[in-house]
Amino acid sequence: MKKAIVTGANGFVGHAVTECLARQGVEVIALVHTVQKREYEGGALVRLVPFEMKDISRLPELIPDRDVDVFYHFAWNGGHGSDRNDTAVQLQNVQWSVECLRAAHAIGCRRFVGVGTIMEFETYYAANEQESRPGLGYIYGGAKLAAHAMLKSVAASLGIEFVWGMLINAFGVGEKSPRLINRTIRDMLSTEEPLAFTPGEQNYDFVYIDDAARAFYLLGEKGVPFKSYMIGSGHAQPLKNFLYALRDTVAPGRELGLGAIPYTGVDTPLEIFSIDELKKDTGYEPEVPFTEGIMSTANWIMSTRGGGK
């Protein structure tokens, strides 16, 4: 891989992947939201192109390059917050994803790498379990599942290689979203108010952002066409174990409030979290232990005086 396009290059994961690609000597055309540009390592290897997803049909005109190897698609509205539960927003994401694939084909990219989520499995189980009443968060999971299925079908019809990375809860330096790890660290550092979680018996995994970015780089290089891969730490376990480790690293002795919130979701079997296929096909090995990643993230948050909180 010598040249790649990255949509959502100013987002948490897209930014990390862009920098990882540049460190590997890959020239990156980074599509960034026009009102939210970020700084990038990589110097001349990173070319910023202001871009809005609503203009995706014009992308082959905006990018004259016809020697791009891989198209990475990370742009996705409503990954957190109220838009996560908005059917119109999530369905638009699915359509834009398909249009990105068609644009990648028109530009001449040989491979399209998309980002999914383990929630695709949770959504499937929740939808098919009799009498289940899944929460609104499964609207986001349903959109990712739909995008996965549609992209794979369209890619097969177009003859472009398709690889799907199913990300399991990435966290780390640079994140400003209200997702679980980031929010919990910030709450522990900034308030003495009681914390509240589910009992934490459901299986979970987390992966540090640097490891996640390297996994996506490897999928662009070595992923087997038309396969999907879990991207995690390889050490899935009940959520409460991660919360205890986080607490002991950031605020020893702090009460967690496990069980204060009822859990209404689906418990994903441990085998679903396996990263064996990713390791076998690409040589990926996670390098950052959970507690090390937590400490790095907490130090970054403290250095930025709340990191945007």
Region 231-240 average pLDDT: 97
Region 15-33 average pLDDT: 95
H helical segments located in 176-303: 180-190, 209-222, 239-250, 276-282, 290-303
For residue 105, what is the domain's CATH number?
A: 3.40.50.720
Indicate whether 170 belongs to any domain: yes
Burial 163-184 (b: 16+ CB within 10 A, else e): bbbbbbbbbbbbbeeeebbbeb
Q: Is the pLDDT of residue 43 over 90?
A: no
| Count of domains for the chain | 1
Bridge partners, 31 (sequence order): 49
Indicate whether 21 belongs to any domain: yes
Region 59-66 average pLDDT: 95
Q: Tell me, yes or no, if the pTM score tops 0.85.
A: yes
Percent of the chain clearing pLDDT 90 (strictly above)? 84
Region 193-218 average pLDDT: 97
Indicate whether 265 belongs to any domain: no
Predicted confidence (pLDDT) per residue in 103-133, tens digit: 999 999 999 999 999 999 989 988 998 988 8
Tokens matching residue 252: 């020893």
pLDDT at position 75: 96
Whether the CB-CB separation of 74 and 147 falls below 8 Å is answered with: no
pLDDT band at 180 (very low <50, low <70, confident <90, very high): very high
Predicted confidence (pLDDT) per residue in 263-307, tens digit: 887 889 999 999 999 999 999 999 999 999 999 999 999 998 644
Query: What's the domain range around 15?
Result: 3-174+205-233+271-288
Indicate whether 55 belongs to any domain: yes
H helical segments located in 52-177: 59-62, 87-107, 119-128, 138-158
